[in-house]
Structure 1
Amino acid sequence: MKLIEKKLDSKKLYECFFMTLYEDKVLLPNDKTSTRIYIKHDGASAVLPITKEGKLVLIKQYRYPISGVSIEIPAGKKDEKHEDGLVCALRELEEETGYTSNNVVKFQDFHSCVGYSSEMIELFIAHDCVKLENPKSGDDDEFIELLEVTKTEAKTLVNSGKITDSKTLAVLLYYLYGDNNE
């Protein structure tokens, strides 16, 4: 059996500046039909900042969809569909934390939620981050608190379930527990 679904019909339900919501009728591998409702997203970047002292710079912000505060790595949508992921990551790093880095490595691209979104997030790790004297300001509707933690403190946040954001968990699990010789 081929694991492919063929689009039979597509209807745009909603569109805004960073995503479009569709409802598609699809033909399933067993020749039956079904409906798929999904988001087409232009993409985003995220970055795990690590200071010269080895502290991990996380952010805390209220997230309306979960009705609570989330602990995350800096991230944001691409300003243009084809914006370079590193450019986006460095912009978000500066706007959300006031830090920058000249030592940024690509970690991984990943789909944030394959069940209903095409969003691809480019993940980076920024080493040797330094605080800027006059960083660019962030979005007017973002209210962020910085949380600088050691690796041990980050492990506690992960293991206790205090971090539930998928992009943050992905990069932290690799950085804290992976075979990355750090």
Structure 2
Amino acid sequence: MFQKIEQSRVFDGDFIKVEKVRYGSDSGSVIEREYIMHPGAVTVVPVDEQGRVYGLWQFRAALGREIFEVCAGKRDVVGEDPAITAARELKEELGIVASEILHLGSFYNSPGFCDERTEMYLARGLTQSSPSPQSVEESAMRIASFELARTPKLVAEGVITDGKSIVSLLSAFMYLHGAGSIGG
């Protein structure tokens, strides 16, 4: 068992913070770690009546290239219900309004160094609207679609490499095929 001894702020950014924390263990050992505090995020997997899913090719500066991702966004509106965040992101990024937004589960993105928790949603009853990009990267995003049933193959072939997208797409696939949610 570990008990927190001390915690201090190392960095205070626009939406992330870095904390340094010290824990003591029952054996008397002390560990010191730095981790990123993140407000959390949502993902949305919109699936139409034909079983097609919609996502985005988005430039990611950390990688220096585009990757395929599901619709997603950070929970940057304090106190906002994550389902509302999901609906807002779906409209902003893909220009889609859904009559039904179902919670699939949640997961921690990288718990070895970050406390970010992502809430996953499935969107159904889709109506096309107009996207309203909120950043330069969002303005350059390209919308793509494929049959949700192709997800395992696209992951295995390395076409989809983004972790949040893999977990969210496979959760939606399993939910719609009677296996329930794999999220926690």
Cα distance in 1 for residues equivalent to 2:72 and 2:26: 37
* Paired residues of 2:59 and 2:137 also in contact (CA < 8 A): no
Change (3 A) 1:76 1:64: same
What letter is aligned with 1:54? G
Q: Percent identity?
A: 24
How do residues 55-70 of structure 1 correspond to structure 2 at under 5 angstroms? 55-70=52-67
Residue by residue over 1:109-166, the C-alpha shift from the partner in whole angstroms, topping out at 9 and shown as x without a partner, is: 211111111111110000122211x443332443311111113443331121221222
Unaligned runs of 5+ in 1: none
1:138 to 134, 139, 155: 134
What letter is aligned with 1:170? V
**Count of residues in Structure 1 that have an aligned counterpart in Structure 2:** 178
Q: TM (normalized to structure 1)?
A: 0.88
2:13 to 11, 16, 19: 16
* Paired residues of 2:73 and 2:86 also in contact (CA < 8 A): yes
* Paired residues of 2:59 and 2:67 also in contact (CA < 8 A): yes
Q: TM (normalized to structure 2)?
A: 0.87
What letter is aligned with 1:55? R
* Paired residues of 2:70 and 2:165 also in contact (CA < 8 A): yes
Change (3 A) 1:16 1:154: same
Shift of the alpha carbon at 1:177?
Answer: 4.8
Shift of the alpha carbon at 1:168?
Answer: 1.0
Unaligned runs of 5+ in 2: 180-184
Q: What RMSD over aligned residues (CA atoms) do the two structures have, in Å?
A: 2.0
Indicate yes or no: 2:86 matched with 1:78.
Answer: no
Change (3 A) 1:135 1:59: closer
Change (3 A) 1:164 1:30: farther
How do residues 147-158 of structure 1 correspond to structure 2 at under 5 angstroms? 147-158=144-155
* Paired residues of 1:101 and 1:130 also in contact (CA < 8 A): yes
Change (3 A) 1:117 1:14: same
Q: Helix, strand or coil: the match of 2:27?
A: coil
Change (3 A) 1:162 1:135: closer
